[in-house]
Amino acid sequence: MRHIRPLLIAATLTSGLLATATASAQTTLRYAVGFPTGAAPEAARIYAEAVKKHTNNSDSLGEYDLSMMNLAEMSSGLKQGLADIGYVLTPYSPAEFPHVNMASELSMLLALQNDPSGKAGMAFGGAMAEFVFNHCPECNVDYGKQNQVFTGTGASSPYMLLCTKPMRTLDDLKGARLRAGGAAWARWARQVGATPVSMPGNEIFEAMKQKVVECSIQSAPELSGLNLKEVTSDITPELPGGVFNGATTNINRDVWRKLTEEQRRGMLRAGTVMGAQTTYRYFTYAKRDMEQAVAKGAKVHQASPEFLKTSRGAIEADLPNVGALYSKQHGVKRADELIAAMRPLITKWTKLVEPVNSAEALADLYWNEVYSKVDVKVHGMSQ
């Protein structure tokens, strides 16, 4: 799943020595984030401050700029206790986190909300948290098997068509080669008559420059993160939609169980800060990078009504494929039921984030609506 963040690629580490957690003694936790630059490490620094604040100075994170674990190693390293807290990208481990990954693919449903605000990532971050905490015990069992406890998540800005030619109609897209970094976007490409192409993020620039692909399905911040603004001449922001939501802030389960209830509650509050800060940064970066691309001469196109209708029909038609795929390949038993639980959450959260105008307001919304209601006596203690 290499679409997972060209903005964020190798390693930042917050480290220290784990001490036994008590109300009176400070616990210094090792926190690994596998990215050198971008939204996640910037948010991680604020997260470190939030951990200290919301645990009444009983927990702290020391911060370093390089990590001993890369993104692919993060989950297994956290499981083994090489870090106490990790920024885990679940798509890197499809067999270990099937229920969360299945729900993440449902982000394409955001395209059915008719919401031009650009806040789809904020909505999906809240919907996913509510889903994991309240509707998907299997998700927490998956985390538990990896010796991890889920404490927060966020999402990218919407995915769109960044192209070397106009893509306004189905005829424009027919036969076009689209770099698609995830299964949901690849299926969408086929359903609308295009050809999906898989390649690492660091190869997209040259592929677009050499016309190996006509478009890349990306979120707008990749215009700067991968320097795609230098090769993007045309943008269709309405299509295909969806966001990336495979990043979760997890705590090693052995560590979590040593924390007091007050500390666990504080870690969940800090988790809202990490998710909100990352997500809101993507929102602001998307606006910034779209403006910069237009200033360099890129043209923004509106998709034709027929194109939009076909795209949305393809998303609806793909839902049974998502459930069937995860049932067959990963043994997900309640696929249809879980998908049905997720759909109203997306609609609910699209409305809830409408008034949000800051990362702090988003963190408060996540806390008040979901995280504050989690029973820390139970969460992460029995899975």
Mean pLDDT on 41-54 = 89
Q: Do domains 2-157+244-290+328-373 and 159-242+298-317 have the same CATH topology?
A: yes
Answer whether the bond into residue 240 is a cis peptide, omega within 30°: yes
Identify the residue with better confidence: 33 or 108: 108
**Mean confidence (pLDDT) of the chain:** 89
For residue 84, name the pLDDT band (cuts at 50, 70, 90).
Answer: very high
For residue 26, name the pLDDT band (cuts at 50, 70, 90).
Answer: low
The pLDDT of residue 6 is above 50: no
Mean pLDDT on 144-173 = 97
Q: Measured between alpha carbons, how far is 187 from 7 in angstroms, rounded to an integer?
A: 24
Which pLDDT belongs to residue 201?
85
Q: Measured between alpha carbons, how far is 263 from 305 in angstroms, rounded to an integer?
A: 51
Which pLDDT belongs to residue 12?
34
- On whether the pTM is more than 0.85, the answer is yes
DSSP strands (E only) in the chain: 12-14, 27-29, 31-33, 59-61, 85-89, 148-153, 159-163, 177-179, 195-197, 215-219, 234-240, 247-252, 299-300
Domain ranges of the chain: 2-157+244-290+328-373, 159-242+298-317
Cβ atoms of residues 198 and 160 within 8 Å: no
Architecture of the domain made up of 159-242+298-317: 3-Layer(aba) Sandwich (3.40)
pLDDT digits (tens, 9 = 90+) for 235-262: 999 999 999 998 999 999 999 999 999 9
φ, ψ at 98 (rounded to 5°): -65, -35
For residue 139, name the pLDDT band (cuts at 50, 70, 90).
Answer: very high
Mean pLDDT on 264-272 = 97
Q: Which CATH number fits domain 2-157+244-290+328-373: 3.40.50.300, 3.10.580.10, 3.90.1150.10, 3.40.190.170?
A: 3.40.190.170
